[in-house]
Each structure stands twice: as C-alpha cells, then as structure tokens.
A and B are shown apart, each in its own frame.
Chain A
Amino acid sequence: MIPRPSWVARARHTLLGPAGPGRPPRVRLEDVRTVPLLMLRVVAVLLVAGAYALLGPAVITWFILGPLLVSALVPGGTWAVLVGVTIVGAALAAGDPGLRPAALALLLPAAVHLSLLADAASRSDLRDVGVDVRLVGRALRSTVLVGCVVVPLVALLALVDTDLPGWLGVLGAVGVVGLGAVAVRLTSSSRAR
C-alpha cells in the first residue's frame, strides 16, 4: 500500500510544485537584475506603515490600518495601499505635524508607485515574477524629483505658518469634480490613441 503524503507535503506540493529533480528546468533571463515581486509589496506596505507611525497615531487605529496593509500584500493589492495612503492623509490633516509632511511627501508616493509596479508584474500567470531594479530606481527617481519641489515648500510653510484662503477650498472641490469627470472619460475610452 502506498502511504499517503502528509498534509505538509501536499501543501508544499500545491504551493511550490513538484520538488527537486522532478521539476522541469526554468527558462532564465540574463542581463537584467531583478528583485522579487513580494519584496516590492512588503516595501510598499512598510512605507505606508512607516508614514503612519511618523504621525504617532493611537494604538487602536492600527487595528484598522493593519489588516488593510496585510491585504495589500496579495496581487491586486494597490487599492489597499491607496486606501491606506488616504487614511494616513486624513490623520495628517487631523493633527499639526510640523515638518513631518516632508517625510510623508516622499514615503507615500514611493509606496504607491512600488505597489503599482507590483500589480503590473502580477498580471502574469507566473508565480515568481522578477521586477527590474531599473524600474525601482525609476520609481525612486520620480519620488525624489517630486520631493525636491515639495519638501522645501513644506519646510518653508512650517517656518512661515501660512493659512490658505477659504475660497481655495471651494475652487478645489470644483476642480476635483472636473478631474473626476475627466478620469471617468479616460477610463471608459477603449483606445488611448
């Protein structure tokens, strides 16, 4: 009688496929250095969590953000990162963080960009997709470029302590409605060009 494999062996077989020499060889791509897809997701989640931790929130709020960030680790988890970023933004608006927005202006865009890259890579049907380190570098470069503009301004605002006029809020709301309409138009069009 052939013994049944243990549940550990079955789970391993399901997750990793046949072990050792029974597994077919893998095509390899040379001349490109890659980082694992999961690492990108983990870094994105850590960036959001780090940004939230910078604001010094109450412990209880981690029970909301924690599960959200865990769900950001699965394929298609960019939505969770975006919601997490919104929560962090709301927490920022609720307090008076001083110079902390400068750090947030670097951490949050990087997290969103990395998460988007991870989602793009997980469009493949393959389990182990690598992400080119040049793409990670490109994400960091765009983050730094935006940061170069935003960070000095945040520092300047912290020093000057300027309040924005109220009519700008109304203008902003109108602008958001307009941009939303444009976004809906763009996403509903079948062809980009």
Chain B
Amino acid sequence: MTVRGARRATGAVARLGPGLVLCVVGLLLSRADVVLVGAALAGGLLVARRDLLDVSLAVGTPTTRDDTGDRRLVAPVTLTSDAPATVLVRIASPGADPVGVLVAVDGDRTLTATLPLARTGRVPGFAAHGIAWSDGLDSVALLEDVAPTDAIVLPVARRLEEVPVPQRLRGLSGPHGSRRPGSGGDLRDVHPFAPGDRMRGIDWRATARRSPELDEIYVRRTHATSEAHVVVVLDSRDDMAQDIAAWTGFGEPRPDRPGSLDLARSAAASLATAYLRRGDRVGLVDLGRSRAQLRPGAGERHLRRILHALALARPDHGSVGRTRVPALQAGATVVLLSTFLDDDAAEAALVWLARGHEVWAVDVLPPVGGVLPDGASGLAWRVMRLERALRLERLAAAGITLVDWSAPARDVPGPTPEQRLRMMSRVRPGGRR
C-alpha cells in the first residue's frame, strides 16, 4: 500500500463555491449566461477524476555520470499511478539543497535526480518524499518516504606523466634497469666467456679484436631489469571536509567539494595507476584498519582491486585500529597519504624510514574554508595547524619527501603534484641498485 490514507483537500472543494454562487445568482436573476459561467467554474472539478487509487514513489540505485569535466551522482526517480495524479516530489541529499517539483503522473513517469559530485567512496544517495493529489486536486495523500541508498564511487585517477622511480628495486625482471648483471637491455660490459654465459651473447667483433688467435671468446653482458615495489599507505582514520564546521559534527560535508579522504583516494589511485601501467608492483595498506592490506601485485586486475579497496576505505570509529606500525615488504617504497593532523601517521613514517624504506609523504588536507571558528575553537584550530606544520617540517628534516596534493586547490604558491613528481623523478634518477 503506497497511499497512506487519502483525505479530501478542502481547498479544492471550496473551488465549487464561486461556481455554485454564480449558478444561484444567475437562476435568481433569470440570467442563463451567468449560470453557464458558474457551471464552467464548477464543471472542471466535477469532470476531473477524483480517485486516488495507487500512487508510488521509488528511487533507484545511484550511479555516477561523467559529463564534460563534471561528475554527477545520478539516480532514477520513478512515479507510478493508476489514474491521472499530481505529485509533489521533494528530493534531498545530505549536504545539498533539496529540490521540489509538482509533477503530472499518469501511468509510469521516470525522472532523473542529479547532483554535482566530487566525493568518492561510500556516498549517500537521494531521499524522496511525496504528496499526491487526484486529478481534480480534491483528494490528497502522503506517499511513503524513500530513504537514501548509498553508492560506491570509485576514485578517478589523475593522469601523471612522470612518476619517480624508487631508489630500491626488486626482482629479476621489470621495466627498470638495475646494477646487477643479467638479461636486460642495457650494455654492462664485454667480458671473457664464463660458464653460465649464453652463446647468443658472444660478441664476435670484440673477440676478433681482442683475441685474434681465438684464445678467448668475449661476450656482451647486460644489466638485469627489475621492478619497483610501491606500498600505498592510506590513513583512513579521519575524513576532514573543507568546511571546518563539519569537523565538529555540525552540518553535512558538501558533495561537490572533496574531503581529505577523497583527495587521498585520488592520489592513491593516480599513483597506483601510473606505477602499475609502467609494470611495477603496488600494494595497499589501510592505516585505519588492523587487517586491511593488499600485497604488492601487478596488472589491470590488481589495479581494479586497489580502486575498490580505496573506495571502501572510510573512517571506522568502532575499529580498534593498529597498535603497531605495520611491517612492509623489504625494499618497498612507502607512499603515505595522510592529513598529518596527529602524530600517529608521522611516527609511522619515521619508523618505516628507520627500517630502511624510502618514504614519500603526501599531504591530503583539503583547503579549509567556511566560517572559521573564533574563541577557544579558533585557538584550537590555530594550534593544530602549527603542530601540523612542525610535524611536516620534522618529516622533511628526516629525509622524507613531501608532496602537497591539495596545493592547487589551496592556492598555495608552489608546484602542483604533477610538477612535484616530475621534479622528483628528474632530480633522482632512481633504480640502479
């Protein structure tokens, strides 16, 4: 049953009043034209269908749609009615202004609710409320409310032209040259033939030049190739919105402005895509969960696995969290994505550095705006900001490379993340270990 008890709308019944008055006045004055005008007024209601049999309102599962450079959350809103009806639909989504439309329904009618979206992960969909009137606007009923359904929105990878090659490489094959001899592409040296050398590697010209009597045979030896192991560490313990009022629980974060976790997902997806497309191995560790970990892997399938794990990562205040810094594969390069609003992530970075990992720290705190707090809250925010700056300075002093992922949005003078990564890759040639 979708109509929760229809009632007569008094306003529409009052509509009969002027028509009846004109009819009576016309009859009393023997004026047929006045009677006809009165009949026209009352006739509209009498002719219209007055039943309100079965009206339903439903909202489908939300998905995303990419318009030109603009991502939108989209969900179908379906209205069904057996008889012609008028339905006032109110569609709302947390953090956005709701919309209301008075719609004509006769049979099935599908509308599309859309909302600009910059957030990723688990995103709340659309809630719907409705009031239905019969065709004559004389019966009115409340429709059952529709609760919002969450959508899982995958992060979009930003195209990174150049990413730095980690200092430490692993494995016996891969896209990067290493310093070990092996079957790679780059020439290492020309060396006398030794057991284990391949016959195909014999350099007959060098042999003829160096040993005309063919006492020794020379082979061309090449550098082996290897791959980088990159472990993306996501600090999902908090998700800070751009509006500072939302930090303390007042108001919902806006869906068209990315929060810190959205920036972290975007950065992680961009870096993982760049490294995996190049042939390296990428793993994922969630710092906010005690067990969530994807071991380094390669390939498109692994990339999809990472994107889904990123989308599902969110602050879990009921989780115990990690009590120790997670152990990572030896030689892996750590990319730590955090807001660095507390000491835990920074301490973990220093521990990994001490264990011999190369560590890059990516700052994902979004540009903080809105109504900045005053009084004690304002003082707390200023202290927190200074502590964070000191924390980042300490990491830089320890030799950890910092990348500010939200610098362009904050209008901070300095390189964009792409420029910073390009600078890192050019300053340090990488590989060759």
Measured CB to CB, the residues of A under 8 A from B are 22-32, 34, 78-79, 82, 85-86, 89-90, 92-93, 97, 101, 104-106, 108-109, 112-113, 116-117, 119-121, 123-126, 128-132, 134-135, 138, 142-143, 145-147, 149-150, 153-154, 157-158, 162-166, 168-169, 171-173, 176, 179-180, 183, 186-187, 189-193
- Give Cα A149–Cα B88 distance, bound, in whole angstroms: 31
Sample of 7 A–B contacts (CB below 8 Å): A27-B98, A82-B14, A105-B40, A109-B44, A124-B90, A126-B99, A129-B102
Q: Which residues of A contact B201 (CB under 8 A)?
A: none
Top 3 closest pairs, chain A to chain B, by CB: A172-B27, A134-B104, A192-B6
Residues of A within 8 A of B135 (CB): 138
Would you give the 0/1 interface string for B1-16, flagging 1 where the beta carbon is closer than 8 Å to chain A? 0000111101111111
Known: A112-B18, A168-B27. 11 other contacts (CB 8 A): A25-B96, A27-B115, A29-B113, A97-B33, A105-B40, A138-B84, A138-B135, A146-B47, A157-B36, A164-B30, A176-B24
Please, which residues of chain B bring their CB within 8 A of the CB of A109? 40-41, 43-44
Q: Which residue of B lies closest to A116 (CB)?
A: B137
Question: Once bound together, how far apart are the Cα atoms of A171 and B28, in whole Å?
Answer: 10
CB of B239, distance to nearest CB on chain A (Å): 18
Residues on B lying within 8 angstroms of A by beta carbon are: 5-8, 10-18, 20-41, 43-44, 47-48, 51-52, 77, 84, 86, 88-93, 95-104, 110-116, 126, 131, 133, 135, 137, 139, 141, 254-256, 370
Q: Which single member of A82, A165, A169 contacts B18 (CB below 8 Å)? A: A82
Indicate whether A24 sits within 8 Å of B86 (C-beta atoms), given known contacts A105-B40, A163-B30, A164-B31.
no
In the complex the two chains form, is B93's CB within 8 Å of A27's CB? Answer: yes
Residues of A within 8 A of B23 (CB): 172, 176
Cross-chain contact A86 with B5 (CB below 8 angstroms): no
Name A108's contact: one of B35, B41, B51, B95 (CB within 8 Å).
B41
Cross-chain contact A191 with B5 (CB below 8 angstroms): yes
- A residues near B96, Cβ cutoff 8 Å: 24-27
Q: Which residue of B lies closest to A112 (CB)?
A: B15
**In the docked arrangement, what's the CA distance between A192 and B13, Å?**
13
Give min CB distance, B432 to chain A, whole Å: 49
Taking A101-B34, A164-B32 as contacts, is the C-beta distance between A121 and B44 under 8 angstroms? no
CB-based contact B255/A25 at 8 Å: yes
B256: which A residues are within 8 A, CB to CB?
24-25
Q: Quick check: B254 and A93 within 8 Å, CB to CB?
A: no
Q: A133–B13 Cα gap in the complex (Å)? A: 24
C-alpha spacing A121/B48, complex, angstroms: 19
**Distance of A24 Cα from B370 Cα, bound (Å):** 11
Known A-B contacts A108-B41, A146-B43; A126 and B100 likewise in contact (beta carbons under 8 Å): yes
Distance in Å: Cβ of A19 to nearest Cβ of chain B: 13
CB-defined contacts of B43 to chain A, threshold 8 Å: 109, 146, 149-150
Contact B104 A138 (CB under 8 A): yes
Task: Say yes or no: B33 contacts A101, CB within 8 Å.
Answer: yes
Q: How far is the CB of B103 from chain A (nearest CB, A)?
A: 5
* Contact A101 to B99, CB < 8 A, known contacts A25-B254, A183-B13: no
Known contacts: A26-B97, A164-B31, A166-B30. The answer to whether A108 contacts B37 by CB under 8 A is: yes
> Which residues in A have their C-beta under 8 angstroms from that of B30?
163-166, 169
CA distance A162 to B48 in the complex (A): 30
Q: Please determine whether B37 and A101 come into contact, CB atoms closer than 8 angstroms.
A: yes
Cα A126 to Cα B99 with chains together (Å): 7
What's the least CB distance linking B246 to chain A, in Å? 11
B37-A104 in contact (CB<8A): yes
Residues of A within 8 A of B39 (CB): 150
Question: How far apart are the CA atoms of A132 and B85 in the complex, in Å?
Answer: 12
The chain B residue with its CB closest to the CB of A85 is B18
CA distance A132 to B86 in the complex (A): 9
Among residues of A, the one whose C-beta sits closest to the C-beta of B3 is: A193
Chain A, residue nearest B133 (CB) = A120
Taking a contact as CB atoms under 8 Å apart, the answer to whether A143 and B44 are in contact is yes
Q: Which of B10, B18, B34, B91: most chain A Cβ within 10 A?
A: B18
Shortest beta-carbon distance, A159 to chain B, in Å?
12
Docked pose: A135 CA to B31 CA in angstroms: 33
Q: Are B6 and A105 in contact (CB under 8 A)?
A: no
Residue of A25, A34, A97, A186 with most partner-chain B CB within 10 A:
A25
Assembly CA distance A176 to B31 (angstroms): 17
Query: Which residue of the partner chain, among A25, A93, A97, A125, contacts B116 with CB atoms under 8 Å?
Result: A25
Give the distance to chain A from B67, nearest Cβ to Cβ, in Å.
Answer: 11
Residues of B within 8 A of A146 (CB): 40, 43-44, 47
Complex CA gap A29/B7 in Å reads 28
CB distance from A44 to the nearest CB of B (A): 12
Given A93-B29, A113-B44, A172-B23, also A123-B88 (CB < 8 A): yes
Residue of A nearest to B28 (CB): A169
Contact A82 B113 (CB under 8 A): no
